[in-house]
């Protein structure tokens, strides 16, 4: 058992990370030790990262206890880099955390200064000067490399900067030089945001927190009106939206809503969140209210502007897409299912269930184009069974005729009309084991009921007669 983290008081009495718990308790008998919970620590760090979205959408998690924020183009909104850093440190410390931070042109330098120096802003012309007096551990190297450097007398970064690069590369590898160049800004080091970056965004910072659901939805509509001009300028409409609610105590709520077709109209966008609020009403704890409300467009697509009628008042709110969007927003995108055609001759493989939103978005239609041609002309049954059901067929015409009668679900049916066969074979180039050929028949019994059944296999290919299956019904 070893110490993995310390508070300020533990550091003041001389305890260190990696120290044994027994040794630490010998130094401080009243030491309070809590078992480490990596999952809880990660969840807490992600919550702080969500809170940092108020400063920039480009937030990345660094290890177990750090965050990277790319504030390029954002500092002026908070009065400059120094004011932004001060605001972050004060607000997080008020939440009960010991926090340190640094701003520079290189993520590696910010990491080093925040952990081995005082919190401050490092100007571009003073990057090497700020890095030089720090220990070599600030270069984010492995423990073995740090120990080896210290044994050679290279204890500070200034010692490494003054040493010839070729011998360093031969002795310690290229990782040392890479980290050194990244820390002084000679090599760019990209930051990978933990969440997708919004295509468009609008936010409202409130003087007084809001708590009522109606007020939040009204703000969402106002933000959607702000985004409309940006969507029109790009010739696109929003497909995926995200409403961020920043609570005054630091909690952040993310409410997602999607649309089957690109949207611009603020009323349509706000209606999606109206349905979402109806679904998550009990899970939204407003607490003391929300101080920041932000609406993001995560995905957009080309918008096809079309006039609905001569007066320009098309009934879009009553369209299938609007209905699908409202139901999906309340019950989830998987609640409405459609079918996507697949390249297979076997009927149960010829379609794949998909969310209706996805089908409408890709403008795919699964309605049978031949449905109006009448009975016995190749159309598929109204109800297709997911798994064909075995039937007892009697007196079938050999070799390719339909059965004269069959028993299905304990009921005998006598065939009055029949058409077929329609011979279908599986894709032999994808099958590990050869699949028997199917001969499909459309039959009608004496009571006028119509069925779609097939014979699996051909007569004469096996010692026993082929089996018959019911695959669907027409009416």
Closest CA to 126 of 155, 104, 111: 104
pLDDT tens over the chain, length 475 residues:
899 888 888 888 888 888 899 999 899 888 889 998 999 999 999 999 999 999 998 999 998 889 999 999 899 989 999 999 999 999 999 988 889 999 999 999 999 999 999 999 999 999 999 999 999 999 999 989 999 999 999 999 999 999 999 999 999 989 999 999 999 999 999 888 998 889 999 999 999 999 999 999 999 999 999 999 999 999 999 999 999 999 998 899 999 998 888 899 999 899 999 988 888 877 788 889 999 999 999 999 888 766 555 555 545 444 777 888 878 877 777 778 777 777 777 888 777 778 877 777 765 333 334 433 333 345 778 888 888 999 998 877 778 889 999 999 999 999 999 998 888 888 877 777 778 889 999 999 999 999 999 999 888 777 788 999 999 998 6
Q: What is the 3-state secondary structure (H, E, C) of the chain?
A: CECCCCCHHHHHCCCCCCCEHHHHHHHCCCCCCCCCCHHHHHHHHHHHHHHHHHCCCCEEEECCCEEEECCCCCHHHHCCHHHHHHHHHHHHHHCCCCCCCEECCCHHHHHHHHHHCCCEECCHHHHHHHHCCCEHHHHCCCHHHHHHHHHCCCCEHHHHHHCCHHHHHHHHCHHHHHHHHHHCCCCCCCCCCCCCCCCEEEEEEEEEEECCHHHHHHHHHHHHHHHHHHHHHHCEEEEEEEEEEEECCCCEEEEEEEEEEEECCHHHHHHHHHHHHHHCHHHCCCCCCEEEEEEEEEEEEECCCCCCCCCCCCCHHHCHHHHHHHHHHHHCCCCCEEEEECCCCCHHHCEEEEEHHHHHHCCCCCCCCCHHHCCCCCCCCCEEEEEEEEEEEEEECCCCCCEEEEEECCEEEEEEEEEEEEEECCCCCCCCCCCCCEEEEEEEECCCCEEEEEEECCCCCCCCCCEEEEEEECC
Q: Are 451 and 368 in contact (CB under 8 A)?
A: no
100-195 topology per CATH: DNA polymerase; domain 1 (1.10.150)
CA 104 – CA 384 distance, rounded (Å): 64
Contact assessment for residue 15 and residue 3, using Cβ atoms and an 8 Å cutoff:
yes
- Strands 66-69 and 59-62 turn out to be antiparallel
Q: What pLDDT shows up at residue 269?
A: 92
Domain boundaries, the chain: 1-36, 100-195, 200-314+323-329, 376-473
Q: Indicate the pairing of strand 351-355 with strand 467-473.
A: unpaired
The whole-number pLDDT of residue 307 equals 55
In order of 3, 65, 229, 263, 337, the CA distances from 333 in angstroms are 46, 35, 28, 17, 9
**Distance from C-alpha of 316 to C-alpha of 319, rounded to nearest angstrom:** 5
First-to-last CA distance in the chain? 72
- What pLDDT sits at residue 366? 38
**Contact present, 422 and 378 (Cβ < 8 Å):** yes
Cβ atoms of 314 and 308 within 8 Å: the answer is yes
Pick the CATH number of 1-36 from 3.40.1170.60, 3.40.50.300, 3.40.50.720, 3.40.50.150: 3.40.1170.60
User: 200-314+323-329 architecture in CATH?
Assistant: 2-Layer Sandwich (3.30)
pLDDT at 324: 82
Residue 203 forms beta bridges with which residues?
Answer: 294
């Amino acid at each position: 058992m070893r110490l993995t983290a310390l508070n300020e008081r533990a550091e003041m009495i001389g305890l260190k990370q990696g120290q044994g718990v027994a040794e630490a308790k010998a130094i401080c008998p009243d030491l309070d030790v809590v078992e480490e919970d990596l999952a809880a620590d990660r969840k807490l760090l992600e919550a702080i990262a969500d809170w940092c979205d108020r400063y920039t959408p480009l937030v990345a998690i660094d290890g177990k206890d750090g965050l990277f924020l790319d504030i390029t183009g954002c500092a002026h909104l908070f009065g400059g880099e120094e004011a932004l850093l001060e605001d972050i440190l004060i607000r997080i410390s008020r939440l009960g955390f010991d926090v340190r931070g640094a701003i520079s042109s290189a993520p590696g330098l910010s990491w080093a200064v925040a952990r081995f120096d005082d919190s401050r802003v490092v100007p571009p012309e003073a990057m090497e000067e700020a890095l030089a007096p720090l220990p070599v551990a600030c270069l984010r190297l492995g423990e073995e490399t740090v120990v080896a450097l210290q044994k050679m007398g290279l204890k500070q970064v200034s010692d490494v900067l003054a040493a010839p690069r070729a011998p360093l590369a031969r002795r310690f590898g290229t990782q040392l030089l890479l980290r050194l160049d990244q820390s002084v800004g000679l090599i760019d080091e990209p930051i990978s945001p933990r969440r997708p970056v919004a295509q468009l965004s609008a936010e409202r910072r409130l003087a007084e927190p809001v708590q009522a659901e109606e007020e939040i939805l009204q703000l969402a509509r106002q933000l959607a009106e702000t985004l409309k001009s940006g969507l029109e300028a790009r010739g696109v409409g929003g497909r995926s939206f995200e409403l961020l609610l920043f609570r005054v105590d630091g909690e952040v709520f993310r409410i997602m809503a999607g649309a089957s077709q690109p949207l611009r109209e603020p009323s349509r966008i706000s209606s999606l969140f109206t349905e979402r609020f109806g679904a998550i009403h009990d899970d939204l704890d407003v607490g003391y209210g929300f101080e920041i409300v932000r609406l993001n467009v995560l995905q957009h697509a080309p918008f096809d502007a079309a006039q609905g009628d001569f007066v320009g008042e098309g009934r879009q709110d009553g369209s299938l897409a609007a209905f699908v969007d409202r139901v999906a927003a309340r019950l989830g995108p998987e609640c409405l299912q459609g079918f996507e055609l697949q390249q297979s001759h076997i009927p149960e493989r010829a379609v794949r269930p998909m969310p209706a939103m996805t089908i409408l978005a890709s403008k795919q239609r699964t309605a049978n184009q031949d449905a109006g041609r009448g009975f016995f002309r190749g159309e598929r049954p109204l109800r297709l069974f997911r798994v064909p059901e075995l039937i007892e067929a009697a007196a079938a015409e050999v070799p390719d005729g339909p059965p004269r009668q069959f028993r299905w679900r304990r009921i005998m049916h006598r065939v009055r009309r029949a058409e077929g066969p329609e011979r279908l074979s599986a894709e032999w180039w994808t099958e590990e084991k050869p699949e028997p050929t199917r001969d499909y028949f459309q039959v009608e019994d004496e009571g006028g009921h119509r069925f779609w059944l097939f014979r699996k296999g051909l007569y004469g290919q096996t010692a026993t007669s082929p089996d018959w299956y019911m695959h669907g019904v027409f009416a």
